[in-house]
Amino acid sequence: MIFQIRPDSPIPIYEQIVTQVTFGIASGGLEPGTLIPSVRELAQTLLVHPNTVARAFQELERQGVVAARRGRGMEVTPEAPAACQKLRQDIVRGRIREALREAASSALPAEDVRLLVEEELARVNGQRRRK
Amino acid sequence: MIFQIRPDSPIPIYEQIVTQVTFGIASGGLEPGTLIPSVRELAQTLLVHPNTVARAFQELERQGVVAARRGRGMEVTPEAPAACQKLRQDIVRGRIREALREAASSALPAEDVRLLVEEELARVNGQRRRK
Amino acid sequence: MIFQIRPDSPIPIYEQIVTQVTFGIASGGLEPGTLIPSVRELAQTLLVHPNTVARAFQELERQGVVAARRGRGMEVTPEAPAACQKLRQDIVRGRIREALREAASSALPAEDVRLLVEEELARVNGQRRRK
Amino acid sequence: MIFQIRPDSPIPIYEQIVTQVTFGIASGGLEPGTLIPSVRELAQTLLVHPNTVARAFQELERQGVVAARRGRGMEVTPEAPAACQKLRQDIVRGRIREALREAASSALPAEDVRLLVEEELARVNGQRRRK
DNA sequence: GTGGTCTAGACCACT
DNA sequence: GTGGTCTAGACCACG
């Protein structure tokens, strides 16, 4: 898993970690039983304060997608993939919904909104291919 | 102009006011030379503290879309409509872009993303018609 | 007397009127016994709210440089020229002092400050001749 | 950095803080990468309310000379010194220009103005040495 | 009536 | 600890 942390995003770092782990599990990149990196290790690779990583893990544990294995570390739970796939869809849908709701409230003509959406959709897919 | 404030949104209230006024000017609801509602008046209708409205107005003034007329109120500037139309498009596009970027990073298949977008687009347009 | 009102200056309009009248008297443009324009008249020529002119006159009266003459208007007092010349020097000196004090606190090298002063002095004198 | 706040100046306190920080960066007293004093700390030393300091910092952030580091404080940006040096000169020049413009409009003879300027220049430099 | 500034103090999220 | 937002209410200058 490669994490992309954007420290200056308005989205808190711990939350970025949470969603990226969630996405990682949902897409099968992290399988049940896998030990995820330790707080210290991840903090070092992401250049982030350990407390921040710890908070993200705490949140993930609360959601039941990872569980502490005494003396070994934190492990992806068996129920995680199903849960994360649902979470992922909820998160993505929620963000899209919010964006489009705002677009509607802006009184921009519907066709203009659609145009913007198509442009950005193409843009994102273009980047995806390039990667 | 009808303003919709959501006090529990993660977006600060003063910022919501800023974008709504911007949208109002962009859509022609507020014309140059018009005095926008006074701080106290708007505070009362939105049920927020006058300071919060004042902060939004300061931001709008800084952007040059309204100008304080001492002792009278705040006036929409002549350049405001053009600026706000550009701002509106930037804001809406930015939010859509962020949502789709996250969708892409979620490793959701592109067709699933498009499906979600279509669903939400239909949903929003439905609401619009119903109003 | 020609008044230059700058409505968007940070200096209040009524104060602009006060200092301009003061300067007018100091320079001999307005002599003792002269009737100054009525509130209404001046408000109209300056495109300013009558209240604002009234407040300026009130201030001038308080300073004793003009006095109400029942049924006729407001008149420049005999003591005014001397007082205004002193006032004028105090005002100008005060402003210069403030500007230079700030320059000093900025840690700009003294020679740079002097250079700026010379440039602006030349600039102002240039404009003066052109008028 | 030593800040001098004059609570009774017509210039708002938050603005005094902004210009003093700007001057501090321009003169090299605050270097890029440095954390500036925290809101609470500065509020305590200046004997003003934290909100007032926060407002100044927001303004500085908007100008791009400092950047918030979440949970740590506010950092001087790499571009700040150049920007602040330009700002400083603009501020000082602007104030001098205003003072001299008023002097010119006062119809004080040019030589009298120059005399005042020299007196005040000497005065300020005298104080500077004494410090 | 208008906007602008300031103090006061609460609450929150982040590190 | 850090900054950010908000409510509350005072006071001021201006028109």
Q: How confident is the model at residue B129 (pLDDT cuts 50, 70, 90)?
A: low
Give the pLDDT score at D28. 93
Write phi, then psi, for D74 (nearest 5 degrees).
-115, 135
Give the pLDDT score at A42. 87
Q: Distance (Å, rounded) from C-alpha B68 to C-alpha B61? A: 7
Give the pLDDT score at B23. 95
Q: Choosing among B23, B102, B111, which should be mutated to test the A contact, i.e. which has the most A CBs within 10 A?
A: B102
**Minimal CA–CA distance to D65: which of D80, D55, D87?**
D80
**Minimal CA–CA distance to A66: which of A21, A114, A16, A106?**
A21
**Minimal CA–CA distance to B52: which of B22, B15, B84?**
B15
Beta strands in D48-130 (DSSP E): 66-69, 73-76
User: Gap from B8 CA to E12 C1', in Å?
Assistant: 12
C116 at interface of D, judged by CB pairs closer than 8 A: yes
Percent of chain B with pLDDT over 90: 63
Q: Is the confidence at residue A34, as pLDDT, over 90?
A: no
Each residue's pLDDT tens digit, C22-74: 999 998 888 998 888 888 888 888 888 888 899 899 889 988 899 988 888 89
Q: Is the confidence at residue A25, as pLDDT, over 60?
A: yes
Each residue's pLDDT tens digit, B16-60: 999 999 999 999 999 999 999 999 999 999 999 999 999 999 999
Q: Is the confidence at residue C94, as pLDDT, over 80?
A: yes
User: Gap from B15 CA to E14 C1', in Å?
Assistant: 20
Residue pair A66/A74 in contact (Cβ under 8 Å)? The answer is: yes
Stretch 21-80 of chain D: residues touching chain A, C-beta under 8 Å: 67, 70-71
Q: Is the confidence at residue B2, as pLDDT, over 80?
A: no
Percent of chain D with pLDDT over 90: 63
Amino acid symbol at C61: E
A9 at interface of B, judged by CB pairs closer than 8 A: no
Give the pLDDT score at B80. 96
Q: Is the confidence at residue A63, as pLDDT, over 90?
A: no
Q: Choosing among D19, D30, D106, which should be mutated to test the C contact, i.e. which has the most C CBs within 10 A?
A: D106
A10 touches strand E (CB under 7 A): no
**Minimal CA–CA distance to C126: which of D100, B89, D84, B6?**
D100
Q: How confident is the model at residue B128 (pLDDT cuts 50, 70, 90)?
A: low
Give the pLDDT score at B16. 95
Q: How confident is the model at residue A8 (pLDDT cuts 50, 70, 90)?
A: confident
- Please state, as a whole number, how many other Cβ atoms lie within 10 Å of the Cβ of residue C76: 22
Query: Mean pLDDT across chain D, nearest whole number?
Result: 91
**Minimal CA–CA distance to C39: which of C59, C64, C22, C25?**
C59
Give the pLDDT score at A47. 84
Q: Which of the residue ranges A96-100, C21-25, D125-129 would you say has the lowest mean pLDDT? A: D125-129
Tell me the chain C residues in contact with residue B71 when contact means C-beta distances shorter than 8 Å.
49
Query: Mean pLDDT across chain C, nearest whole number?
Result: 87
- A56 CB-near residues (< 8 Å, 6+ apart): A13, A14, A15, A17, A18, A21
**Minimal CA–CA distance to D95: which of A81, C97, C46?**
C97
Top pLDDT among D110 and A10 is at D110
Residue pair A76/A22 in contact (Cβ under 8 Å)? The answer is: no
Give the pLDDT score at C110. 87
Give the pLDDT score at D130. 61
Q: Is the confidence at residue C1, as pLDDT, over 80?
A: no
CA closest to C4 among chain D residues: D105
**Minimal CA–CA distance to C94: which of A11, D116, D59?**
D116
Q: Choosing among D108, D113, D129, which should be mutated to test the C contact, i.e. which has the most C CBs within 10 A?
A: D108
- Please state, as a whole number, how many other Cβ atoms lie within 10 Å of the Cβ of residue D38: 15
Of C20, C96, C108, the CB nearest to D103: C96
Write phi, then psi, for A83 (nearest 5 degrees).
-60, -45
Percent of chain C with pLDDT over 70: 95
Q: Distance (Å, rounded) from C-alpha C91 to C-alpha D72? A: 46
B7 at interface of C, judged by CB pairs closer than 8 A: no
Q: How confident is the model at residue C130 (pLDDT cuts 50, 70, 90)?
A: low
Each residue's pLDDT tens digit, B94-109: 989 988 988 888 888 8
Report the first-to-last Cα separation within chain A, whole angstroms. 15
Interface residues, strand F, Cβ cutoff 7 Å: B 7, 12-15, 48-52, 55, 70-72; C 7, 11-15, 49, 51-52, 55; D 36, 38-41, 51, 54, 57-58, 61, 68, 70-74
Give the pLDDT score at A130. 59
Asked if the Cβ–Cβ distance from C116 to D93 is below 8 Å, we say yes
D6 touches strand E (CB under 7 A): no
Interval D6-13 mean pLDDT: 90
- Nearest nucleotide to D5, CA against C1' atoms: E6
CA closest to C9 among chain B residues: B70
Distance from CA of D27 to the nearest CA of C (A): 6
Of A4, A92, A108, the CB nearest to B108: A92
Q: Is the confidence at residue C8, as pLDDT, over 80?
A: no
Each residue's pLDDT tens digit, A49-60: 888 899 899 889
Question: Which of strand F's nucleotides are less than 7 A from any protein C-beta?
Answer: 1-9, 13-15
Amino acid symbol at D102: E
Q: What number of C-beta contacts closer than 8 Å exist between A and D? A: 5
C101 at interface of B, judged by CB pairs closer than 8 A: no
- Nearest nucleotide to B54, CA against C1' atoms: E3
Q: Is the confidence at residue A1, as pLDDT, over 70?
A: no
For chain C, what is the largest distance between any 2 Cα atoms, rounded to a whole number of angstroms?
Answer: 58
Per the structure, the residue whose CA is closest to nucleotide F5 at C1' is: B12
Each residue's pLDDT tens digit, D14-71: 999 999 999 999 999 999 999 999 999 999 999 999 999 999 999 999 999 999 998 8
Q: Distance (Å, rounded) from C-alpha C103 to C-alpha C111? A: 11
CA closest to C10 among chain B residues: B70
Asked if the Cβ–Cβ distance from B124 to A107 is below 8 Å, we say no
Interval A74-93 mean pLDDT: 91
DSSP reduced 3-state for D31: coil
Tell me the chain B residues in contact with residue A107 when contact means C-beta distances shorter than 8 Å.
23, 26-27, 29
Each residue's pLDDT tens digit, C100-120: 988 988 989 988 999 999 999
Give the pLDDT score at B58. 96
